[in-house]
Amino acid sequence: MNSLIRSTARCMRSGAAACLLRPADGLVRAASARFLCAAADLQKDLGEMVKKDKVVVFMKGTPAQPMCGFSNAVVQILRMHGVDQYASYNVLEDQELREGVKVFSNWPTIPQVYFNGEFVGGCDILLQMHQNGDLVDELKKLGIRSALLDAEKESK
């Protein structure tokens, strides 16, 4: 219900009020016009969402309470590198977001990780980047010093 209200509000905000005010000459048509409007707006919103923060994660659940093994893996890997502050969006709370982000990223599964507005990948990719050292480098490019570098220093 929330997402219907939100998507309606989004629709009106972008000035596409025509979608809703057009005489309903067919229930299905009006519904699909409204749906398309909301879907297009979500794509636009996603474009902004992934750029607003350096690290953005679309996941099932929250960093405090992941609801899926793969999403949890992403949270744990980021935590290992000392990355605890990032934007995370729970797709389980919003079915539109869940489908919309797959379209936006052209990626079929959740979780999805973005660095500086650029799609990085899902759990598999993040894990491989962590294992081969690439993640430390990518975080450095974001101006984030991986905690693992400090851990290394301490052990020497």
- By CB under 8 A, name the binding residues for other proteins: 70, 106-109, 119-125, 128-129
| Smallest distance from other proteins to CB 110, Å | 9
Cross-strand partners of 112: 58
Q: How far is the CB of 153 from other proteins (least distance, A)?
A: 28
Nearer to other proteins, 70 or 104 (CB): 70
Quick check: 40 and 100 in contact, CB under 8 A?
no
Least Cβ distance, residue 109 to other proteins (angstroms): 6
Select 61 or 122, whichever has its Cβ closest to other proteins.
122
Minimum distance of other proteins from residue 122's CB (angstroms)? 8
Q: Pick the closer one to other proteins by CB: 63 or 121.
A: 121
- The nearer residue to other proteins, 83 or 120, going by C-beta atoms, is 120
Phi-psi domain of 95 (left: phi exceeds 0; alpha: psi -120 through 50; beta: other)? alpha
DSSP string, 36-105: HHHHHHHHHHHHHHHHHSSEEEEESB-SSSBSSHHHHHHHHHHHHTT----EEEEGGG-HHHHHHHHHHH
